[in-house]
Structures are given as structure tokens and as C-alpha cells.
A and B are shown apart, each in its own frame.
Chain A
Amino acid sequence: MISFHHVTKRYSPFAIALDDVSVHLEKGEMVFLTGPSGAGKTTFLRMIYAAEIPTEGQVMVAGRNVAKLKESSIPYLRRNIGVIFQEFRLLRERTVFENVAMALEVLGVPRGLLRRKTMTILGHVGMQAKMDEYPDSLSGGEQQRVAIARALVNEPSIVLADEPTGNLDDSMTEQVINLLREINVRGATVVIATHDRDLLERHASRILELERGKLINTLSERAHQL
């Protein structure tokens, strides 16, 4: 599903975000990406949704070489990828419903279907009752659930989460990780970037560890041993 072949990302001769990274993620996998701040986790994720292009090497997503995609093809790639951020990135002047529905608007989904799908996903993340509220009136956990709903509403085959629990307490963290696990069980490939060791201990099945841009460990089925 996702392959990195000797990928290097260099912003300048002294700023190397990724250094000769090679890894393959299977369809339907749930992978945790870890490492200290500045290790290259975010760059790794940004390459998957074509926000960054490798300086060297190849990033293949669903059989397509990201570096060779035409500018006009990038939106089609992104429609198959849901992205979740630590800081939620919701629009403050739009309601919960509007924030989620915007992912369907870009596809030209008819209004009736758009409403049904949005309501369903909001129900799934437990936010249907607050669909007319604005993000500022929600707790951090609620905002993250809205962001997850926006990432999932068009049923992407890949979900990328960049420190999705960074701003949440333990109980909210569990809820968010359970939601992502549920998406994974339904068949989506999920990549979660985190530096939270507790989270890895409790939930990780496969871990990719980055340090100064290098992939130093690819561990499987050993979260409990950490």
C-alpha cells in the first residue's frame, strides 16, 4: 500500500529530515511511527499525502509514485487519504457539521447524501448532538473527534494521524485510539505518529522508529515488550 525506497528529504545540506528510509506498509496495517521531536515523523507523513516530494528515492502510495504525480492528480490521491493533526485544524467560523461536510463538498456529493453521510460519521464518533456547535465551544477530545470524522467521512483507504493524542488526557486518548483501531479493523491502513511511549506499550502492533531522519528500528508484534 505504502512504500518508501531509499527516501531522503533534504531541505538544505545541513537540514536532512529523512535519510535513506526504506520501508513497506501493507494494506490494512496499523503502524505506529515514533521518535523524538525532529526525527522526521511529520515529514514521513507529509510525503505520503504529497505535501513533500523526496529529494532522492521513491514514495509509492497505492501503486503511484508520489514524486511523479501531476499537480492536477494530487487532489485525487488525497481523497483516498484522511489526515488527522495534533492541533485538530478545524475552521472556527464553521459548525461541527460544516467542518466535516467540507470533505464531501469537494467531491460534489449531492446535498441529501452529504447530510446523511456526515450525520452517520458524526454519530459514529459520538458528536451528532453537537453538530450545530462551533469548535471553540468543544473540549479538546471533542474537537479531535470532529477532526477524525472529517478525515473518515469519505471512507479513505489510508488514515494518517500526526500526534493525534498530543493535546488529550488519558481517557480521551483511549477513545481516539479506539476509533482509529476501529477504522483499521474495517480495512484502512492507519499510520499514527507519536512519541508517547505509554501509547506504544498499550496499542502498537508494528512500530517504525526514526532518529535524526534515519529509520533505526522496524519492530512488529512487540509492543508489550517495550
Chain B
Amino acid sequence: MRHKLWTIFLRFLHNVRADAAANLGAMLAVGLAVSIPLMFGLMAINMGRLADSFAGQVEIMAYISVDAGEAQIQPTLAAIRQMSEVESAQVVTAEEALGRFREELPEAAELIRELDKNPLPPSIEIRLHARYRDLPAMEGFARQIGVLPGIVEVDYGKEWAQRLGQVIRYLWMFTFLIGLFLAGASGLLVANTIRLAIYRRHEEITIYRLVGASNSFIRIPLLLEGIFQGLLGSLIGFGLGDAAFYFLGRQYRVSSEISSWLLGGISPHWFSPSLLVAVLAIGGGIGFIAAVFSTSRHMRI
């Protein structure tokens, strides 16, 4: 058995060498098919991280009815503080809110002086524990406190968050569709390479069958060839993506002011070893499926 496996492996190496040009073509196609969705995927990951990072900096403001007295505010504040998501919560009176407004916008002092009464409502300023600082958790929390007595409105940058979430969802969908399309196209190319290899080796396969070679003896080297094309192709794709991100990364470091505005100060997520493993598995899988398809279709005893 060991000798048979070794013979099969040697035949696979011999075939790869003999059909080097066709193999290289298929690998480059797989490489492109892998690198393009990889780029979009990374873009989506980084936008998701940006959204989460933004959520982490935002505090939740629960606005209180101007008519609410101390007797209504204190129990609501206590109820909020007891919630497991809450790290800290404090009341900001209408006067404190106006004071902050004056500090942040001194140029509006004239305008404020002309007002008959303070237009700003009192509020409860809430900061969540780090593990709850993401958009879905904040949305759920806002719904929960919105029904407490005295609370009239809860603000956590919902519109901005929803819009960003939608962009990220579209980006993931696009990544998935383009990935699916390119995986299909590169799979067909690998299948075609294997089909041509079967035709080219027709005489050899016929003789092997004649001397009693089993189906697996003939098929396994072709399956290995498909996996090899997929694996090496995805490695090429990973390399292309890595090179592109390397140059982007350099750009990022050079123009840190622009990038800090764009990325909100987060450090972008680059290629990781686990991503490499996933990409190789996908590439190898494409090659394997294509080779199985091709050999079952074009090889008969």
C-alpha cells in the first residue's frame, strides 16, 4: 500500500512537471479569484471594526422630560445603574447641559444670551461596559431604557450606525457574490485543465487500465493536481492581496492625518495566519471539487 501511494505521488509530480504551463495558468486564475474577494472582505472587516470602535467611544444619552421631578428621575437613574450592561450613569441637569454647550461653542454665546429660557433638556449620560459597546447591543439597550418613566428619547447615533451597518452589509454581500462568481469561474478553469490532461494522457490511461490499474490509481494523481492548483493558486492570491495591502499600509502610515479621519484612529486588520489557512482551504477545496467533477465526467473504465 505504501509503495502504491508513493507511486501515485510520483506520478502526480511527474504530471505537474509535464503540464507545467497549464498548471501555472490555472493557478494564476485561482490566485486572481481569491485575491479580489479577499480585498473586499478585508475592507468589510475593517469597516466593521471602525463601526465598533466608534460605538465604543459613544456615550448613550437618555433625555428626560422637562416636567420630570427629582422623585421621578432618581428611581429611573437607580434602575439604569442596576442594569448589567451599565458601567456608569449620571444625571446632567439642563443647566449643566447649557454650560457644556457654552464651553464647546463659545461663538454661540450671543445667541444663548438672547434666549428666554434654557432649550436643553436634562438627561442621563450612560457609559456601557466594553463588551456591550457594539451597535446591536447598544440598539437593544436603548430600546430597554426608552420605556423607563421620565425618559422621552434615547440617542446613541442610531442613524449613523444604521447607515454604516447597511454599507458593511452591502460590502459583505458584494464580497460574497464576487467571491462565488470568481470561485465558480476558476473552478471551471481548473476542471478544464484536468479535462485536457485526461485527453492528453489518454493513451497512458488506456494502458494503465489494460494492465489492471484501479480507478483510484488513475484518478488520485489528477485529484492531487486539482488540489495543488487550488492551493498554490490561493497562495498566489494571498501574496497579491498581501502586496496590495502592504502598499496601502505604507500609504496609511505616511498620511496618518487622513487615515485617522478615515479610520477613526483604529489600527487596520491586515492578513493573519488564520486567514491564510482559510484562504488555502478554500483554494484547495475549489481545486478538489473541480477535479472530482472533471474526472467523474471524463473518465470511464
Contacts and interface: CB of A to CB of B under 8 A. Distances in A.
B246 interface: no
Choose among A49, A78, A154 the residue with the greatest number of B CB atoms under 10 Å from its CB: A78
A102 B203 CA distance: 13
B3 A103 contact: no
B82 interface: no
Interface string B188-220: 000000000000000110111111111101000
Contacts of B163: none
Given A106-B217, A108-B7, A111-B3, A91 B203 contact: yes
B210 A83 contact: yes
A109 interface: yes
18 contacts: A71-B215, A71-B301, A75-B212, A78-B210, A78-B212, A83-B210, A89-B206, A89-B210, A91-B207, A102-B208, A103-B212, A106-B208, A106-B211, A106-B212, A106-B213, A106-B217, A107-B4, A154-B212
A181 to B, nearest CB: 22
A75 B214 contact: yes
Nearest to A109: B3
B1 interface: yes
Contacts of B217: 75, 106
A154 B213 CA distance: 13
A79 interface: yes
B210 A49 contact: yes
Interface in B211-256: 211-215, 217
A150 interface: yes
A105 interface: yes
Interface string B1-16: 1111001000000000
Best-surrounded residue of B1, B7, B217 (most CB of chain A within 10 A)? B7
A72 B215 contact: yes
Interface of B: 1-4, 7, 203-204, 206-215, 217, 301
A49 to B, nearest CB: 7
A31 B1 CA distance: 37
B214 A72 contact: yes
B211 to A, nearest CB: 4
B182 to A, nearest CB: 35
A115 B264 CA distance: 70
A76 B215 CA distance: 11
B contact patch SS: helix
Interface in A61-87: 71-72, 74-79, 83
B4 A78 contact: no
Contacts of A105: 7
Contacts of A111: 3
Contact of A78 (B1, B2, B203, B209): B209
B214 A89 contact: no
B203 A89 contact: yes
A72 to B, nearest CB: 7
Contacts of B211: 78-79, 102-103, 106, 150, 154
A2 to B, nearest CB: 17
A75 B207 CA distance: 12
Contacts of A103: 211-212
A154 B206 CA distance: 18
Contacts of B215: 71-72, 75
Contacts of A83: 210
A197 B208 CA distance: 33
B27 to A, nearest CB: 24
Contacts of B204: 91
Contacts of A77: 212
Most buried by A among B203, B214, B217: B214
Contacts of B207: 89, 91, 102
Of the listed residues B211, B217, B301, the one surrounded by the most CB atoms of chain A closer than 10 A to its CB is B211
A92 B301 CA distance: 23
B212 A107 contact: yes
Contact of A79 (B1, B4, B206, B212): B212
B213 A108 contact: no
A30 B54 CA distance: 89
A106 B5 CA distance: 10
A167 B300 CA distance: 30
A108 B214 contact: no
A89 B209 CA distance: 13
A75 B7 CA distance: 17
A110 interface: yes
A75 B213 contact: yes
Contacts of B208: 102, 106
A77 B213 CA distance: 11
A110 B213 contact: no
Given A102-B207, A106-B217, A74 B4 contact: no
